Amino acid sequence: MLVHAINHKNLKQAALCLQAGGLVAFPTETVYGLGAMATNATAVARIFSAKQRPQFNPLISHFSSAEAALSAGQSNDAAAHLAAAFWPGPMTLILQKPANSLITALASAGGDTIAIRVPSHPAALDLLARVNAPVVAPSANPSGTISPSKAEHVVNGLGAACDMILDGGPCESGIESTVIDCRQERPILLRPGPLTPKQIADQTGIELEISKPLEQASQAVSPGQIESHYAPRAPVRLNAENKLQDEIYIGFGPSKTGLKPDFNLSEQANLVEAASNLFAILHEADALGKAAIAFAPIPMAGLGLAINDRISRAAAPRTF
């Protein structure tokens, strides 16, 4: 049996499976991750192979405590401050990797940095504590396809590559963690996610440097600038006010034009709801096999930044 409910027996079996070099997909509060022991190079290599992921794309190591996570990198005041404020939670920190790190080089794609995160999902934390070692977990989808927010997405995309899939139901946020490069005094936002720069500034006083102009996300993306990483099969059209022939139209909020969308990210124009629905709707829309997928405009504020970032990547030309 591949898919397992969350209970003590199955968590124990999953931990043993990871320790033995297996691949276990598990839920986090963001998306499902495809886990492997970060210290086991063969297991980590199986992840790249399963995802058919370009090897230069490094992986996030997951830990059951902030203390364990921070000690895996060269920590500093900013990292400690962010960790205390937002872990466990949907935030990944990039730190300098110590020379004697036990985490396999493949997880850092040969680089000298390490990505660390403490997820807040109780099953993920339980599993990580049982494994008692860092677990790398990219989103549990084949490279270049949509991230999985339900166990069935993992079954469909990567079922053949998983030794076990833990089914924790739909993920709470449905969008991947906020990634912050913490190697310098002023941390840099690398990937927008559920935790917004404003929340970070309000709670810690830390003003992130934004690595690329965020308004770029609402414009056409130049090829090569942003990798096509979240692409459905069908081409995606952004900021669409109308529905063209043979298109799936994905709305946001009440229709202004009377046009009835095929799907709505959130009837109430709630960005949190939209983020949690985004990948499930993209999966469903893509499965209908139409010529294209059109998205209604989504405001560039709060979580809208992360949503626009994801769908503009879906619209970017494929580079794989």
In the complex, which residues of this chain contact ligand TXA (CB under 6 A)?
28, 30-31, 33, 57-60, 92, 94, 108, 111, 113-115, 117, 119, 137-139, 176-177, 179, 190-191
CB of 95 to ligand TXA, least distance (A): 8
Count of beta carbons in the 10 Å neighbourhood of residue 222 = 10
Q: Could you give the CA distance from residue 87 to residue 286 in angstroms, rounded to a whole number? A: 34
**Residue 237 to residues 46, 59, 242, 280, 298, Cα–Cα distance (Å):** 34, 29, 11, 18, 12
Q: Are 310 and 231 in contact (CB under 8 A)?
A: no
Give the total residue count for the chain.
320
Beta bridge partners of 95: 114
**Nearer Cβ to ligand TXA, position 180 or 248?**
180
Q: How many Å apart are CA 241 and CA 295, to the nearest integer?
A: 8
Give the residue with the Cβ less far from Mg ion, 174 or 253.
174
Least distance CB 13 / Mg ion (angstroms): 26
Which partner in Mg ion, ligand TXA, none is near 269 (CB below 5 to 8 A by kind)? none
Q: Note whether 139 binds Mg ion by CB under 5 A.
A: yes
Nearer to ligand TXA, 38 or 298 (CB): 38
Please identify which residue in the block is written with the tokens 């993306």.
221
Query: Cβ-closest residue to Mg ion?
Result: 139
Smaller CB separation from Mg ion, 13 or 141: 141
Is residue 36 a contact partner of residue 48, using CB atoms and an 8 Å limit? Answer: no
204 binds, among Mg ion, ligand TXA, none (CB under 5 to 8 A by kind): none
Closest to ligand TXA by CB, 113 or 239: 113
- 3 state DSSP class of 236: strand
Q: Which does residue 277 touch among Mg ion, ligand TXA, none (CB within 5 to 8 A, set by kind)?
A: none
- Residues at the contact surface with Mg ion, assessed by CB under 5 A: 139
